[in-house]
Structure formats: C-alpha cells, structure tokens
C-alpha cells in the first residue's frame, strides 16, 4: 500500500469500527430499550436516525468534493457550516420525519448511508481528506459526523443502560 491508500484506509477503518460499535450496542439491547423514548430525550432509534442524517450530510459534501473544481471547505467546518444548515431546525425536522421509524428502518438507512460515505471518501484525493501537510488532521465535515458525533451519541446510550 502506498501512503495515500494507508492514510485513506485508516479513515475508512475508523468509520467502519464506529459503525460496528453501533451494531454491537444495538444487538445487546432489548426491543423495549431500543424503542423507549425518555421524557427528555431520544430513543436509541431516534439517536441512530440522527447520527445517520448527519452522515448523509457528510456524504453530500463528499460527493461534491469529487469535483476537482469544488472549493475545499474550511478545515474546522462541520457539515452544518459547509451546507449552511441550521442544526437545531435540522435536528427537529429529522426527528419529526422519522419519529415512527422502527429499528429495522433506522438500521437499513444507517447501513446504506455509512457504506456510501465510506465509498465516497475512498474516491477523494488525500488533500480533500486531511487538512494539513503532515496528513494528521482529517477534515471536520466528515470526521465529526462519521466518528466524533456518532461516538458521542453511542457513548450516551451506553451510559444510559
């Protein structure tokens, strides 16, 4: 493997590991635990849909970044800044649109988007994945929704149970 493929594969492996962590978490919970919506929060289904919606935004950006003429986003911008999304409004709209989804529906969407995001990232040149010359800092527009944000919500759920 050359440096490009090693660095890209590292990112893909990290995203895939977080994906598997979600699957393992879900497999260990009862149907009641998955569907229960706390009075002041989201069910596991809601959280998975939320994470997937943000990964879908990252996928939109990744697909746009395939164009060599596309502007490279600011390194620290997450999807909401790149796509000019009001994140509170977006989160509420996602919740309302999917509030009756089953775990099966949420998992199917999660698998589709996560797989598509990994595929799209593999197609990008290295300078569209890492922000620095040393190739140590990934762009936030995909790293945050695919790893950081997904992990935050997964850990919140793990701590709940």
pLDDT tens across 45-92, in order?
999 999 999 999 999 999 999 999 999 999 899 999 999 999 999 999
Pick the CATH number of 3-160 from 1.20.120.450, 1.10.240.10, 1.10.8.870, 2.60.40.10: 1.20.120.450
Separation between Cα atoms, residue 146 and residue 3, nearest integer Å: 22
Quote the pTM value.
0.93
What value does the mean pLDDT of the chain take? 93
97: confidence class by pLDDT, cuts 50, 70, 90? very high
Q: Are the C-beta atoms of residues 28 and 65 closer than 8 Å to each other?
A: no
User: 64 Cβ partners below 8 Å, 6+ apart?
Assistant: 70
- At residue 45's C-alpha, the angle toward residues 86 and 59, to 5°, is 50
Q: Are the C-beta atoms of residues 120 and 17 closer than 8 Å to each other?
A: no
As a whole number, mean pLDDT of residues 153-157 equals 97
pLDDT at 37: 93
């Amino acid at each position: 493997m050359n440096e490009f493929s090693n660095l890209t594969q590292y990112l893909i492996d990290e995203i895939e590991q977080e994906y598997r962590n979600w699957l393992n978490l879900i497999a260990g919970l009862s149907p009641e635990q998955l569907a229960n919506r706390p009075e002041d929060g989201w069910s596991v289904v809601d959280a998975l849909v939320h994470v997937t919606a943000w990964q879908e935004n990252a996928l939109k950006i990744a697909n746009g970044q395939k164009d060599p003429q596309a502007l490279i986003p600011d390194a620290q911008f997450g999807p909401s800044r790149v796509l000019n999304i009001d994140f509170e409004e977006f989160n509420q709209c996602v919740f309302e649109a999917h509030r009756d989804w089953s775990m099966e529906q949420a998992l199917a969407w999660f698998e589709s988007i996560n797989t598509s995001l990994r595929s799209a990232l593999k197609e990008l040149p290295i300078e569209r994945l890492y922000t620095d010359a040393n190739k140590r800092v990934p762009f936030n527009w995909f790293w945050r929704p695919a790893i950081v944000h997904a992990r935050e919500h997964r850990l919140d759920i793990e701590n709940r149970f």
